């Protein structure tokens, strides 16, 4: 049996692009060389040597139709394979296994938006792929429930496997190392630093946090890592950062007020780095968090945000805001090898 992966772009990136690279690394550790069907490859990254790349030229195809053509050509090539090929897609193509980290109907519903013509194309393609797939991997129970209620996917077709995190990269550091990192990022000793990692600020609830931090007289600072924002009172913009593990280790809290967050891997990364989270109570990753992981609030009730910020300031003042045993706060094994084992078990049963 040959394993193949289908993606729009094979490169380093956020979200689903990073997840696919993680899978390739996990397969490499098990001496598995997957085929990768993609429209674009970054040939300079290490993981490019861990795959058998199959490039599909979609440069002349209009963007809304690229998934259709990627699906058609990858399956056409696959059909001529001399050995049985089990395909996994991280974009919406017709494959044996669909990795589902989000869906468009749920996204539009959360933002209270009516679907445009292009939205309807995306939704139709998602339904088509869900119908074709033998198994759908949902990255949270929240996502599984949305697939059942919004797409009418049979429950027995969905497996929940939580996404992996590189625990060698995201881990606590000692006090001296934290002091050094805080100096590196120009964080002041008297400031309590709240990290907001985001490339989609509207969906992540930036405006709620911006308004609160700008009006606060507390010694707090919101540090935005990702899409640049205009700096203002108590708000600093770092732009895109490659050293996210160091940021998690240096800050005091990670904060988000997402409108729609099917999982939220940043929560697991932060906790593994020893940094508690302050999250709106609709985020999917909360279903796997327990004990003293941080605080939750209702994004529609600013008083609840104020309450948890005040609590976090008191916790910081008593020097009790670090997480010394991160795995005690997470109810699943977030390491890559465990995730790949679960995925391979499903593959071999397909």
Q: Is the pLDDT score of 321 beyond 90?
A: no
Q: What is the pLDDT of residue 158?
A: 97
Q: What is the pLDDT of residue 341?
A: 94
Residue 10 shares a structural domain with residue 159 = yes
Structural domains of the chain, count: 2
Contacts of 315 (CB under 8 A, 6+ apart): 321
Q: What is the pLDDT of residue 242?
A: 82
Residue 138 shares a structural domain with residue 25 = yes
Q: How many helices (H) and strands (E) does the chain have?
A: 12, 13
Q: What is the pLDDT of residue 101?
A: 87
118 part of a folded domain: yes
22 part of a folded domain: yes
**Residues 13, 11: Cα–Cα separation, whole Å:** 6
**Residues 255, 257: Cα–Cα separation, whole Å:** 7
Residue 50 shares a structural domain with residue 127 = yes
Q: Is the pLDDT score of 207 beyond 80?
A: yes
Residue 265 shares a structural domain with residue 294 = yes
**Residues 102, 82: Cα–Cα separation, whole Å:** 33
Banded pLDDT at 36 (limits 50, 70, 90): very high
Contacts of 288 (CB under 8 A, 6+ apart): 140, 162, 268, 330, 331, 332
Q: What is the pLDDT of residue 57?
A: 94
Q: What is the pLDDT of residue 14?
A: 74
Q: What is the mean pLDDT of the chain?
A: 93
Residue 130 shares a structural domain with residue 221 = no
Please, what's the largest Cα pairwise distance for the chain? Answer: 67
98 part of a folded domain: yes
Banded pLDDT at 206 (limits 50, 70, 90): very high
59 part of a folded domain: yes
Contact 135, 96 (CB under 8 A): yes
Q: What percent of the chain has pLDDT over 90?
A: 81
CATH number of domain containing 209 = 3.40.50.2000
Banded pLDDT at 95 (limits 50, 70, 90): very high
Q: Is 242 helix (H, G, I), strand (E, B) or coil?
A: coil
Q: Is the pLDDT score of 225 beyond 80?
A: yes
Question: Can you tell me the mean pLDDT for 196-205?
Answer: 86
Could you tell me the residue range of the domain that residue 157 belongs to? 2-164+335-349
Q: Is the pLDDT score of 327 beyond 90?
A: yes
Residue 134 shares a structural domain with residue 231 = no
Contact 92, 125 (CB under 8 A): yes
Q: What is the pLDDT of residue 199?
A: 81
Q: What is the pLDDT of residue 203?
A: 83
Banded pLDDT at 311 (limits 50, 70, 90): very high
169 part of a folded domain: no
Q: Tokens representing 122?
A: 């995306």
Question: Can you tell me the mean pLDDT for 56-65?
Answer: 90
Residue 142 shares a structural domain with residue 190 = no
Contact 99, 137 (CB under 8 A): yes
Residue 195 shares a structural domain with residue 119 = no
- Of the listed ranges 7-11, 39-43, 209-213, 317-321, the least confidently predicted one is 317-321
Residue 49 shares a structural domain with residue 139 = yes
Q: Is the pLDDT score of 29 beyond 90?
A: yes
Q: What is the pLDDT of residue 211?
A: 94
170 part of a folded domain: no
Q: What is the pLDDT of residue 166?
A: 85
Banded pLDDT at 163 (limits 50, 70, 90): very high
Residue given tokens 């995190």 in the structure block: 165
208 part of a folded domain: yes
Banded pLDDT at 135 (limits 50, 70, 90): very high
Residue 126 shares a structural domain with residue 239 = no
**Residues 120, 129: Cα–Cα separation, whole Å:** 14
Q: What percent of the chain has pLDDT over 70?
A: 100
Q: What is the pLDDT of residue 246?
A: 95
299 part of a folded domain: yes
Q: Is the pLDDT score of 323 beyond 90?
A: yes
Residue 210 shares a structural domain with residue 145 = no
Residue 325 shares a structural domain with residue 343 = no
Banded pLDDT at 342 (limits 50, 70, 90): very high
């Amino acid at each position: 049996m040959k394993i193949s992966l289908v993606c729009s772009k094979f490169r380093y990136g956020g979200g689903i692009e990073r997840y696919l690279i993680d899978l390739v690394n996990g397969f490499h550790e098990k001496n598995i060389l997957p085929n990768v069907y993609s429209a674009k490859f970054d040939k300079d990254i290490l993981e490019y040597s861990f795959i058998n790349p199959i490039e599909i030229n979609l440069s002349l195809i209009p963007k809304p139709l690229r998934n259709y053509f990627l699906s058609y050509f990858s399956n056409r090539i696959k059909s001529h394979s001399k050995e049985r090929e089990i395909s996994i897609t991280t974009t919406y193509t017709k494959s044996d296994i669909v990795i589902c980290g989000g869906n468009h109907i749920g996204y539009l519903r959360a933002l209270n938006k009516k679907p445009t013509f292009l939205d309807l194309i995306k939704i139709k393609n998602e339904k088509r792929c869900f119908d074709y797939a033998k198994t759908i991997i949902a990255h949270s129970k929240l996502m599984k429930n949305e697939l059942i209620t919004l797409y009418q996917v049979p429950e027995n077709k969905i497996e929940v496997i939580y996404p992996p995190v590189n625990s060698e990269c995201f881990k606590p550091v000692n006090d001296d190392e934290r002091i050094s990192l805080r100096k590196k990022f120009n964080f002041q000793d008297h400031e309590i630093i709240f990290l907001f990692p985001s490339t989609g600020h509207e969906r992540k609830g930036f405006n709620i946090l911006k308004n609160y931090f700008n009006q606060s007289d507390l010694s707090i600072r919101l540090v935005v890592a990702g899409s640049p924002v205009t700096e203002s009172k108590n708000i600093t913009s770092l732009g895109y950062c490659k050293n996210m593990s160091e940021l998690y280790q240096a800050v005091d809290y990670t904060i988000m007020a997402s409108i729609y967050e099917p999982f939220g891997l940043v929560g697991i990364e932060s906790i593994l780095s020893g940094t508690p989270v302050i999250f709106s109570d609709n985020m999917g990753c909360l279903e796997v968090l327990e004990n003293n992981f941080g605080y939750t609030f209702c994004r529609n009730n600013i008083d609840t945000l104020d309450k948890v910020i005040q609590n976090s300031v008191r916790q910081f003042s008593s020097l009790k805001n670090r997480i010394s045993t991160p795995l005690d706060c997470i109810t699943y094994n977030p390491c890559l090898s465990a995730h790949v084992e679960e995925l391979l078990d499903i593959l071999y049963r397909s």
